[in-house]
Amino acid sequence: MIVPLTARTPAELVAQAAPVVAARPDLVEWRVDHLLAGGSDLAAVVEAGRALVAALDGLPLLATIRTGAEGGELPMPGEEYLVVYRALLEAGIADLVDVELRHATAARVIAAAHDAGVPVVASNHDFDGTPDREEIERRLLAMAEQGADVLKIAVMPRSPEDVLTLLSATLAVRRRVDQPLITMAMAGTGVVSRARRWRLRLRGDLRHRGSGLRPRPGRGGRAAPDPGAGAPGLSCTHTTARHPRGVPGRGGSAHSHSMVPGGLLVTSSTTRFTSGTSLVIRVEITESTS
């Protein structure tokens, strides 16, 4: 299970963490753009991140700065995006980061994350429609070429045929890359794309503190996998969710996605992860009604 946190103040962020820790999800996603939109400066964001890591009691953390162009809280088209991510990475706060494919600093953020030993989820969100199959494939392959560890795209279907286009492109790319794929069609029309089970094989960076784990240097004492400890593959089931305020500038009917929709402030099913044994190896896609 993955749960996003969307607090706009540091105090609210730590408060949101308490019920999450009680639920013991597999991964927590911190929407950093919400805290920035609440007025926190860079130093306050880093301190809030450290406090969140302590409050999460070893749960792995995905840091996401969603820009206004893709449903986030702030525009952030330039260097600030890179500066905030670098600060979080240097502080050892994030176990994974979400990087938007089309951001001007994407390549540098990915490089900074990899220099820090942090896997990257590359993402792209199209609220205006569904690109044709070739364009969807192009975007996913561009993520792979930039070195992302997980490839994610969300589109807005206007017809059932759009959903089939997405699924067809997903299958085509799946046959060409080793990275896990996360693809989804939003709104009611796209529900079939979200009622599928994606089996992902990941290495240990998503694993929890516990048996077979040892502290990972530079990450606040959080656990890293013991190479001798076995673990199952990673699987996730995706659904969609309606953002409580809609996407800024698009009215209340749009959907907002980061890596995982849902969580404390929106209604959706959760995404479930079972941690893996090594960094990204491959993706296996299997249909499931569960």
Catalytic residues: 125, 152
How far apart are the C-alpha atoms of 21 and 127, rounded to whole Å?
32
Both tokens assigned to 63: 């840091």
Both tokens assigned to 152: 């994610």
Picking from 270, 253, 244, 252, the residue whose alpha carbon sits closest to that of residue 34 is 244
Between β-strands 120-126 and 213-215, what pairing exists: parallel, antiparallel or unpaired? unpaired
Picking from 26, 54, 13, 10, the residue whose alpha carbon sits closest to that of residue 237 is 26
- Continuous H helices in 184-258: 191-194
Contact 166, 192 (CB under 8 A): no
